[in-house]
Amino acid sequence: MKKTHFDTSMWKEHALNPKECNASTVNWIFLVDLLNFSFWSDIDIDDTGIPHPDRYRVTFQGVEYTGYWSMVAAINRALDEGIAITSPELIASEERLPDHEIERIFRSDTKEPIPLLQDRIRVMREAGRVLTERFGGSFTNCIVQADNSALKLVDIIASNFSSFCDEAEFCGRKVQIYKRAQILVADLWACFENKGYGEFNDIDEITMFADYRVPQALYHFHCLHYSPELHQILENGDLLPNGSPFEVEIRGNAIWAVELIRRRILELIKEDWAAYVAAQEQEEEKEENNENNGQEIEKPKMTTVNAILIDYFIWDFAKEAQQDLSEGERPVKVHRTRSVFY
């Protein structure tokens, strides 16, 4: 992260992400994160990052996309075709936007359809109705109600939109993971660079986004360890039901691992700045003694970090190193859970 100077400005660098920051962008981010779930392929069993030729794929502006980006490409393709798919009023209306038209919007270049299409249609209808009936037809009104609080916005999202209410029971206790609700807030923060609709005074309270890809990378880095029984389940490609003990443990421990990483990085940042200040003082002393050789001291690039940036960084790494994560020195498969929550 130090080498790449990884920060919120990198969010806009992806070709498919919006470059403008306005109310339309807010509704785009809402729809993308509303549908940001379950992209692993039933066909692409090896999951090496070299896509199986038949897995779900979308071509947009001459570029082929799979996984999460295939869904984003399909949304941008629809907008290019003149379909106002980010409009809550439109997606709420079966008359104006029939199911078969949504199916066409998410059409695949291959024989594998987008996973959980009917669930995607269902959550789109629900979200469109909720925004239209309770929030004046725009997610911007949810943001206004949150009053610059990331945690309050997460609560508004999880309380009003059932597909964001990512909860489980573990050892008799309710566990609130809220992966997509939190990544929705995080994407607003990153896109708007903590201004306007993306300004939150408690953004560092957001945790990492517990999915199936980041835990794989955390295992690779020895931040997570799996029991032989769990490792065999993953190797076999067996399904882990949403809410099952193993699945909740993977996600919960991933959240805690990133929190520990965050704390350690903050310690390292503090050490870097202390060393920089000490070096500056030495240079000032040399100047007073006419011993300065004109060497410039490089200022540390990182001033702080939060779980959002760490998650973004690890997810990007996991996608780039997908083959090594699946087949390298410490191989492990992603856990396979079909769910609207991630």
Residue ranges in the chain whose pLDDT is less than 50: none
For the record, the structure tokens of 178 come out as: 């809220």
Q: Tell me: the pLDDT tens digits for 23-40? A: 999 999 999 999 999 999
- Residue 242 is predicted with a pLDDT of 97
Q: Identity (one letter) of the amino acid at 174?
A: K
Taken in order 115, 246, 324, 9, is the CA torsion positive or negative? Answer: positive
Backbone angles phi, psi at 38, to 5 degrees: 50, 75
- Residue 116 is predicted with a pLDDT of 98
211 is catalytic: yes
- Residue 2 is predicted with a pLDDT of 81
Cα(319)–Cα(204) distance, integer angstroms: 25
Cα(317)–Cα(306) distance, integer angstroms: 17
- Residue 87 is predicted with a pLDDT of 98
- Residue 109 is predicted with a pLDDT of 98
Q: What angle do CA 145, 148, 150 make, to 5 degrees?
A: 95
- Residue 19 is predicted with a pLDDT of 95
For residue 276, give the 3-state DSSP assignment. helix
Alpha helices in the chain (DSSP H): 23-34, 68-80, 88-92, 99-105, 117-134, 140-146, 150-160, 179-191, 213-220, 228-236, 245-288, 307-320, 322-327
For the record, the structure tokens of 146 come out as: 């949150």
For the record, the structure tokens of 242 come out as: 């949403």
Classify the phi-psi angles of 55: left when phi > 0, otherwise alpha if psi is within -120 to 50, otherwise beta. beta
For the record, the structure tokens of 150 come out as: 């990331």
- Residue 295 is predicted with a pLDDT of 74
Of 211, 238, 272, 324, the catalytic one is 211
Q: Tell me: the pLDDT tens digits for 175-221? A: 999 999 999 999 999 999 999 999 999 999 999 999 999 999 999 99
- Residue 245 is predicted with a pLDDT of 97
Under 8 Å between Cβ of 90 and 148: no
- Residue 294 is predicted with a pLDDT of 65
Cα(37)–Cα(1) distance, integer angstroms: 26
